[in-house]
């Protein structure tokens, strides 16, 4: 029968009776003797496209890494799988005491897998780690005055100023870790051996090969139907598909769109698709002295690209066209009044001539290769469309590590293309492009930054949304990039895998999965 996994709002239920047998689990430096249920339940093997460099929840915002540690380390609140709605998890409820104080009630009767209690002190310790964490600093800087406990299972977050994005921020990063253990082993050791309250416990990590998670027999929601989850690192797209068809793995993450038809006709498999949030854009650097400084040129380049054709012919219909600005329909702050840029090469050439470039000009496009599905192909296609309106493009395809190095060195050139994934609230998108941000390559007037700051502390959702609509208009009329597409997320799974729901944030969520 179908195993009903407890929803976050349901009360704790006790684990079913089973015959205990002793076992040992090494966690950091602590060896715990546990009562392990009889080895019922199945093993799920996941083909993963990336080998995590860290499993520290505060050391990364990479969804592919979180897909592993999300089964081990849980959050206070989480996003809904397909909407920008915040759901309870280890925090069961919350309320604003005033515009700068959020109070949260915490779930009782929960322990970490090393037997430390989950309580207000653990939540406070973990939130303080989040608010100091470098990957989150663009959003947390000068935001929080203090985190306080108010009883054993109540915490209060006191802010420097009102924040409309605090709850979405917590839905992205409010991971909870055991304070005593975290302090004993230190962040570097914890990053290799994370401990949490989740349904699984890390038991093995062979770098570049596999990560093994064993069921946590004392999970607060009752033991997971799966006994074990094995992540096999298979970076090559074709190799992942072959392993899936051969029955060596049960789930292929980041299933390649190029294999979609082959996957669909295999009766032993299911393909699960969901809209994605990763926004591919060719970003302009208007600080360099090039024709891109002219708004008409940037507008022309947006008209030069046939996004609908890219979605249909290259991505098999499994992608969305960016809507003429940088916020998708499933994100808070989307402006429905703006339409995607039409494909109009004639008008594009006319705009280039008006800007003084009737014969086009030369530029360079740097793009990632092998980091995302079809990223190289997308770079080549965009270059081809620009060539068709007379812009001569020097293509610079680079692997992701080199891309990041060039970015740090300020050497990405006049145009760089990649896909950014941020939480589904317009604040997280627009705040990337404020003054001083490493993502900002095109400068707007002070109005732009003022609107972003205003929206961040506007607690009325309607007024806040209206501000984001204005920002959308600015970024449409004066584009900071060629707004391209948001590919869907594809999971290919064996037909006997049940309950896998893809999330638009690309994080693998195994809580409802059984075989």
The contacts of residue 301 (CB under 8 Å, 6+ apart) are 282, 348, 386, 389, 391, 482
Instruction: Yes or no: say if 468 and 430 are a contact pair by the CB < 8 Å rule.
Output: yes
Enclosing H/E stretch for 23? strand 21-27
Specify the pairing of strand 101-106 against strand 392-399: unpaired
Instruction: Round to whole Å and give the CA distance between 301 and 126.
Output: 45
pLDDT for residue 40: 61
Question: What pLDDT, on a 0 to 100 scale, did the predictor assign at position 258?
Answer: 78
Contacts of residue 486, Cβ cutoff 8 Å, sequence gap at least 6: 275, 276, 277, 278, 279, 280, 319, 320, 322, 328, 419
Residue 11, pLDDT score? 31
Does residue 204 contact residue 53 with C-beta atoms inside 8 Å? no
* Amino acid 75: pLDDT: 98
Q: Provide the strand spans (E) within 346-443.
A: 362-369, 392-399, 415-420
With CA atoms as reference, report the closest residue to 501 among 345, 331, 270, 260.
270
Angle, helices 120-132 vs 179-192, to 10°: value is 40
Q: Which two tokens stand for residue 135?
A: 């990957």
Contact status, residue 118 vs residue 179, Cβ threshold 8 Å: no
Q: Say how far apart CA 72 and CA 80 lie, in whole Å.
A: 19
257 neighbors 245 (Cβ within 8 angstroms)? no
At residue 20, the pLDDT reads: 27
Looking at residue 127, the DSSP 8-state letter turns out to be H
Low-confidence ranges of the chain (pLDDT < 50): 1-38
Element spanning 233, H or E = strand 226-233
Q: What pLDDT sits at residue 34?
A: 35
């Amino acid at each position: 029968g179908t195993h009903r996994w407890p929803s976050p709002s349901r009360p704790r239920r006790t684990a079913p009776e089973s015959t205990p047998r002793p076992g040992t689990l090494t966690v950091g430096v602590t060896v715990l003797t546990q009562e392990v249920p009889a080895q019922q339940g199945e093993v799920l093997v996941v083909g993963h496209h990336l080998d995590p460099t860290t499993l520290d929840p505060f050391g990364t915002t990479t969804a592919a890494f979180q897909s592993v540690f999300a089964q081990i380390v849980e959050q206070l609140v989480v996003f809904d799988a397909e909407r920008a709605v915040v759901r309870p998890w280890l925090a069961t409820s919350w309320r604003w005491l005033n515009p700068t104080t959020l109070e949260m009630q915490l779930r009782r009767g929960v322990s970490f897998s090393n037997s430390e209690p989950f309580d207000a002190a653990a939540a406070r310790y973990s939130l303080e780690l989040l608010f100091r964490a470098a990957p989150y600093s663009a959003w947390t800087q000068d935001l929080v005055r203090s985190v306080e406990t108010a009883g054993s299972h109540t915490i209060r977050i006191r802010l420097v100023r009102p924040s409309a994005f605090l709850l979405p921020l917590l839905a992205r990063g409010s991971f909870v870790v055991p304070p005593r253990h975290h302090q004993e082993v230190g962040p570097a050791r914890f990053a290799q051996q994370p401990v949490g309250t989740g349904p699984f416990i890390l038991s093995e990590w062979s770098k570049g090969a596999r990560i093994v998670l064993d069921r946590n027999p004392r999970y607060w929601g009752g033991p997971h139907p799966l006994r074990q989850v094995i992540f096999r690192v298979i970076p090559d797209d074709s190799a992942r598909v072959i392993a899936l068809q051969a029955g060596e793995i049960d789930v292929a993450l980041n299933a390649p769109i190029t294999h979609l038809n082959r996957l669909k006709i295999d009766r032993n498999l299911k393909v699960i698709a969901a809209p994605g949030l990763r926004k591919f854009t060719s970003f302009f650097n208007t600080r360099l002295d090039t024709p891109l400084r002219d708004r008409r040129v940037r507008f022309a380049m947006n008209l030069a690209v046939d996004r609908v054709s890219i979605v249909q012919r290259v991505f098999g219909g499994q992608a969305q066209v960016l809507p003429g600005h940088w916020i998708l329909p499933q994100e808070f702050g989307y402006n429905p009044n703006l339409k995607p840029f039409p494909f109009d090469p004639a008008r594009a050439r006319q705009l280039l001539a008006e800007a003084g470039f009737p014969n086009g000009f030369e530029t360079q496009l740097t793009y990632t290769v092998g980091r995302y599905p079809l990223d190289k192909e997308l770079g080549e296609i965009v270059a081809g469309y620009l060539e068709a309106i007379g812009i001569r493009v020097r293509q610079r395809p680079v692997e992701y590590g080199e891309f990041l190095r060039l970015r740090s060195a300020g050497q990405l050139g006049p145009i760089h293309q990649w896909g950014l994934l941020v939480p589904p609230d317009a604040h997280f998108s627009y705040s990337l492009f404020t003054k001083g941000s490493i993502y900002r390559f095109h400068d707007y007037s002070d109005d732009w930054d003022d609107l972003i700051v205003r929206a961040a502390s506007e607690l009325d959702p309607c007024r806040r949304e209206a501000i984001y609509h204005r920002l959308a208009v600015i970024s449409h009329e004066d584009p900071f990039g060629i707004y391209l597409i948001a590919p869907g997320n594809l999971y290919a799974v064996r037909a006997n895998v049940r309950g896998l729901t893809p999330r638009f944030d690309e994080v693998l969520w195994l809580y409802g999965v059984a075989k």
